[in-house]
Amino acid sequence: MRNYKNFFGIYYLCSMKKISTTAQTDNLEGLEKRILSVFANNTNKDYSIKQVYGILGYKDRAVKLKVKEIIMDMMQQNILIKSGTRFVLHPQYVSKDTSPKHYVTGITEFARSGRISVIPDDASEEIHIASGNASSALDGDKVKVYLFPKKRGRKREGQIVDIIERKRVCFAGILNKKKYFALVTCNENEIPYDIIVHSYDNTIEDKTKVIVKITDWKQASNNPVGVITKVLGQPGDNDVEMETILVENDFSIDFPPQVLKQAEAIATVIPQKEIDKRKDYRKITTFTIDPKDAKDFDDAISFKLLDNNNYQIGVHIADVSHYVRPDTPIDQEAFNRATSVYLVDRCIPMLPEKLCNEVCSLRENEDSLTYSVMFEISPDAQVVSYSIDKSIIHSDKRFTYEQVQAIIDASEYGAFHQPSEFSPQITLLWKIAKQLREKRFAAGAIQFESPEFVFDLDEAKYPIAVHVKQSTPANWLVEEFMLLANKTVAQTIGKVSKDKAKTFVYRVHDEPNKEKVETFKTFASKLGYKISNSSRSKLVKSYNDIFEKVRGKAEQTLITNIALRTMSKAYYSTDNIGHYGLAFDYYTHFTSPIRRYPDLMVHRLLDAYLSGGQSEDKDFYEQCCEHCSVMERKAADAEHESIKYKQAEFLADRIGKIFAGEISGVSKWGFYVMLDDNKCEGLVKMTSLKDDFYQLDEDNYRIVGEEHGNTYQLGQKLYVRVVSVNMQKKQINFQLAE
């Protein structure tokens, strides 16, 4: 392979004097220069090899083969970039100024409208990428981008020149066996290229669903090469599809044997010598409040009326750190997973069942080891004092949210309920929680309520109904005391002078993206809602006002989802920047160590610091934070994918039925409709609209007919018929009902 980079003086020559492109080929160097001149004379244009032949006037077959060989060599050396079957000059040779300021790194985002963008690492203005400039990047990849010169009034644009890190290398797909190799065809929305498998177990049946791991993806080839890592089974089987979702997001259903062996060896009886080391809160009224199908109980709340008429309210959290020691097989597996994953039909726990459902769980009528934050709180919800201690508790009662809500409804509205011996305590806890909630929003917290989809499943795990779960005061009661405990723990470690600062794990949330806020402001105004973003307080008030106005209305899900897109994503970090959405200067995750690894890290750091230990290694914990943030996003993706699959499954038996809905998104392919009754979402394809030729008006969230001017606008009400469902792609197609 020749080093063609020595020829790049030719580009600057080309920019001053156009080189002749005659068919004469005196020598190899002359041929190379002529090929370079084709790309250098029009740096923004891409060419196929056939077009290069034509421009240079070559017809001889031997010369054509040499031209192809040179072009492929130039691509291997990153002088040319291949996009499909076409080539373009690498951006670093387009401008004489190749200083770092012309390059950024960031994460790709592929919108369903077809738009590709890169969110820079420094959170600056997002960069728009034309499809021809995306190289082989996929959604979520970390990439290097060359920035094109900024044009007045235009959004920042660029070209992806390098894939730094793939978000995913494992994909599920259907095996298509050939004579000497196989192709694995995956969901084209996730990876639009078949993956080539050269060697595999030939006993695997054709059309079986498998997991394939990409091992090589040269820029010279559209198709990546991979190996089969797992055979899942027949497409369409519920367990196969759920495991597909988990594996694609780097989660495993099964625990390694050494982890299970260690878990089984853990004693269930609490030694007296351990009890003697702890605060004993077993005689204080204590209970848990959780969903009715919960098995792992992370947290409990205790209540006691003090002699001065203040309340002693305890937040007690399972002491997982007592059982899960650093660098053990259980700890390593918990760190790798970093979180429990909640799919529609199952929970994949972070810890083995022996720990999460038995030993660590704060079960009714059992003694449990805990980490406790004990508050003295006045009747007007002022925190008078608090303490943080290792402890032991005894849960007197396991409540469901529904039971607690009945008690609250009775106290608030006089509704009838079956009295509980703990009703007075819950009533007083709710009064304190309500005041804490009011104060939090008065201080600038944003009242986000993300829609939570709930499926009613039959014995075969087939969805028979879908609805959106609404948060209730019972949820808020628990939420407020968990927030208070998390904030208090973070303040205890973080709110100190610089010379006393110690490494800690914070849950942080940055300010919203200004450009996205402006976009949301424009969108909201078109639906009759006003956004003021002249100050933080006005922006927060605008958000909360809108959320209050849309509560219970058909457009609630739509408005909330778009508002959430304006926000930065919360993440874990050792660098505290506060939590914008909660309006807390200090915040962490302390209350769910059974299902979140960051909470376990917080417990360990607390253990060290409260006993007088020195600051821990910041770099080590920052790396742990980054890993946990990544796995949290993957868990959210897995949950979303399971919802999409079950929604598709729910409508698969309802082909031809008509439903009411509203337009929830627009794209160059058509518009998406979310159904009112079950919140399933599908696409009305542009090609199904026969009355006009429609085009996307992305800035105004609509598609518009060229001839008659008919529009389909975000939020518009209409009726649609279910016409097809693709279970493998989790796609639902609608047509307008006549």
- What is the per-residue pLDDT across 396-405, written as a single tens digit (0 to 9) for each? 999 999 999 9
The predicted structure's pLDDT at residue 568: 83
The predicted structure's pLDDT at residue 320: 97
For residues 380 and 289, membership in a common domain is answered with yes
14 pLDDT tier (thresholds 50, 70, 90): very low
For residues 76 and 109, membership in a common domain is answered with no
226 CB contacts (<8 Å, ≥6 apart)? 171, 184, 195, 196, 197, 212, 213, 214, 215, 216
The predicted structure's pLDDT at residue 18: 35
Domain edge (last residue) among 145, 165, 185? 165
Residue with tokens 């044009």: 151
Does a structural domain hold residue 454?
Answer: no
Does a structural domain hold residue 243?
Answer: no
* Alpha-carbon torsion, ordered 187, 729, 685, 665, to 10 deg: -90
What distance in Å separates the CA atoms of residue 261 and residue 266, rounded to the nearest whole number?
A: 9
The predicted structure's pLDDT at residue 43: 66
192 pLDDT tier (thresholds 50, 70, 90): confident
What distance in Å separates the CA atoms of residue 660 and residue 677, rounded to the nearest whole number?
A: 8
Contacts 24+ apart (CB under 8 A), 527-533: 527/555, 527/559, 527/714, 527/715, 529/559
pLDDT digits (tens, 9 = 90+) for 377-436: 999 999 999 999 999 999 999 999 999 999 999 988 876 667 778 999 999 999 999 999
The predicted structure's pLDDT at residue 333: 97
Min mean pLDDT across 121-130, 337-346, 367-376, 613-622 is at 121-130
Assess whether pLDDT exceeds 90 at residue 534.
Answer: no
Q: What DSSP designation does 362 have?
A: -
Q: What is the pTM of this model?
A: 0.78
For residues 537 and 504, membership in a common domain is answered with yes
Q: What DSSP designation does 148 have?
A: P
For residues 66 and 106, membership in a common domain is answered with no
Does a structural domain hold residue 303?
Answer: yes
Q: What pairs with residue 662 in β-bridges?
A: 674, 717
Q: Looking only at Cα atoms, what is the longest distance across the chain?
A: 103
The predicted structure's pLDDT at residue 62: 80
Does a structural domain hold residue 245?
Answer: no
Q: Which carries the bigger pLDDT value, residue 527 or residue 358?
A: 358
Q: Which carries the bigger pLDDT value, residue 119 or residue 32?
A: 119
Does a structural domain hold residue 593?
Answer: yes
Work out the percent of the chain whose per-residue pLDDT is above 70: 91
Q: Sheet holding 80-83: strands in order across? A: 47-48, 86-89, 80-83
Tokens read off for 350:
């972070």
CATH number, position 206: 2.40.50.700
Assess whether pLDDT exceeds 80 at residue 229.
Answer: yes
Min mean pLDDT across 31-35, 182-186, 271-275, 442-446 is at 31-35
State phi, psi for 540 to the nearest 5 degrees.
-60, -45
The predicted structure's pLDDT at residue 221: 61
Mean pLDDT in residue range 89-118: 73
First to last CA, the chain: 63
Tokens read off for 185:
């065809």
Give the domain extent around 228: 170-235
Mean pLDDT in residue range 563-574: 87
Work out the percent of the chain whose per-residue pLDDT is above 90: 54
Work out the angle at residue 561's Cα, subtended by the Cα atoms of residues 560 and 567, and round it to the nearest 5 degrees: 90
Q: Which carries the bigger pLDDT value, residue 124 or residue 574?
A: 574
Assess whether pLDDT exceeds 70 at residue 98.
Answer: no
The predicted structure's pLDDT at residue 265: 95
For residues 225 and 347, membership in a common domain is answered with no
Assess whether pLDDT exceeds 90 at residue 368.
Answer: yes
CATH number, position 10: 1.10.10
Domain edge (last residue) among 641, 670, 698? 641
Does a structural domain hold residue 464?
Answer: no
What distance in Å separates the CA atoms of residue 679 and residue 684, rounded to the nearest whole number?
A: 15
Chain mean position to CA 411: 39
DSSP strand pairing (571-573 vs 731-736):
unpaired
Assess whether pLDDT exceeds 50 at residue 148.
Answer: yes
Domain edge (last residue) among 596, 611, 641? 641
For residues 271 and 402, membership in a common domain is answered with yes
Residue 372 contacts residue 279 (beta carbons within 8 Å):
yes
The predicted structure's pLDDT at residue 149: 74
CATH number, position 694: 2.40.50.140
The predicted structure's pLDDT at residue 42: 67
Query: Which H/E stretch holds residue 212?
Result: strand 209-216
List C-alpha distances in Å: 186 to 181, 194, 287, 319, 669.
16, 7, 48, 43, 20
For residues 372 and 404, membership in a common domain is answered with yes
For residues 161 and 178, membership in a common domain is answered with no
For residues 113 and 174, membership in a common domain is answered with no
* Alpha-carbon torsion, ordered 94, 95, 99, 100, to 10 deg: -40
For residues 194 and 313, membership in a common domain is answered with no
Does a structural domain hold residue 309?
Answer: yes
Instruction: Of 299, 187, 173, give the one whose Cα is nearest residue 240.
Output: 173
Residue 352 contacts residue 379 (beta carbons within 8 Å):
no
pLDDT digits (tens, 9 = 90+) for 283-314: 999 999 999 989 899 999 999 999 999 999 99
Work out the angle at residue 96's Cα, subtended by the Cα atoms of residues 92 and 99, and round it to the nearest 5 degrees: 65
Assess whether pLDDT exceeds 60 at residue 461.
Answer: yes
The predicted structure's pLDDT at residue 588: 98
What distance in Å separates the CA atoms of residue 137 and residue 402, rounded to the nearest whole number?
A: 47
For residues 187 and 205, membership in a common domain is answered with yes
Residue 21 contacts residue 37 (beta carbons within 8 Å):
yes
Assess whether pLDDT exceeds 90 at residue 698.
Answer: no
Assess whether pLDDT exceeds 90 at residue 4.
Answer: no
Does a structural domain hold residue 244?
Answer: no
378 CB contacts (<8 Å, ≥6 apart)? 310, 311, 384
Assess whether pLDDT exceeds 60 at residue 246.
Answer: yes
For residues 535 and 608, membership in a common domain is answered with yes
The predicted structure's pLDDT at residue 3: 55
What distance in Å separates the CA atoms of residue 38 and residue 22, rounded to the nearest whole number?
A: 12
pLDDT digits (tens, 9 = 90+) for 480-512: 999 999 999 999 999 999 889 999 999 999 988
Mean pLDDT in residue range 61-82: 83
DSSP assignment of 523-565 equals HHHHTT-----SSHHHHHHHHHHHHHHHTTSTTHHHHHHHHHH
The predicted structure's pLDDT at residue 80: 84
pLDDT digits (tens, 9 = 90+) for 309-330: 999 999 999 999 999 999 999 9
Work out the angle at residue 233's Cα, subtended by the Cα atoms of residues 228 and 239, and round it to the nearest 5 degrees: 115
Number of domains in the chain: 6
